[in-house]
Structure 1
Amino acid sequence: MDVVGSYFPGRGTLIELTFRDGQAHGEAAGLAEGVLRILAHRGITVRPETRHRIRECPYRSTLSHWLDRAFTVSQADELLDELFAVEEPDR
């Protein structure tokens, strides 16, 4: 028999939902910093507006996509090209 659910104390409560939301936010923040570090390591200048958009993006799928592309773009703004962005609510 498969058991579906979490083993979080107080599961199904506002506490668990808040915890999971915080966890998702932390994962997104880590991905955003990874994107910016790769660009910095490659010597690519990031405009303040672009840096803000990367840091404020809540979508882990988009940030993961940008992280992969950060290795190959020649300018930071190429990451934000709407043709390549995959913004899905996956929080």
Structure 2
Amino acid sequence: MDLSFYTSPLSEEIRAEGEARGEARGEARGEAKSLLMMLELRGVHVPDEAREKITNCDDTELLDQWFSRAVTASSVEEIFIEG
């Protein structure tokens, strides 16, 4: 059985892309967790729908924006405001 594919450049590229996606997902999960903790510590109520939106977000730049807004937000809706 020819197993050369598993050590080929294409195989290595596929593996590297998978690892990068996994790392990005892990980073996003950590940022979402920190955002939810910030809101909780500040006493901001987070409805299930908003919690799901935050938890399912994999855009770390957007999560960073939301986190910055969460520092002063008095409601969860304030962190989602565009502009």
Q: 1:34 is aligned with what amino acid?
A: S
Which residue of 1 is the match for residue 76 of structure 2? 76
Structure with the higher fraction of residues in helix conformation: 2
Which residue of 1 is the match for residue 51 of structure 2? 51
- Report the structure number with the largest CA radius of gyration: 2
TM-score, with length taken from structure 1: 0.75
Q: Deviations over 1:46-78 (max 9, x none)?
A: 000000001111111000111111110000121
Percent identical pairs in the alignment equals 31
The alpha carbon displacement at 1:80 in A equals 1.3
Give 1:5-20 correspondences, 5 Å limit: 13-20=13-20
Q: Say whether residues 1:35 and 2:69 are aligned partners.
A: no
Which residue of 1 is the match for residue 60 of structure 2? 60
Q: Distance in 1 between matches of 2:59 and 2:25?
A: 9
> What residue ranges of structure 2 are gaps of 5+ in the alignment?
1-8
Q: Say whether residues 1:26 and 2:26 are aligned partners.
A: yes
Q: Distance in 2 between matches of 1:45 and 1:80?
A: 14
Q: How many residues are aligned here?
A: 74
Moved over 2 A (4+): none
Aligned partner of residue 58 in structure 2, secondary structure: coil
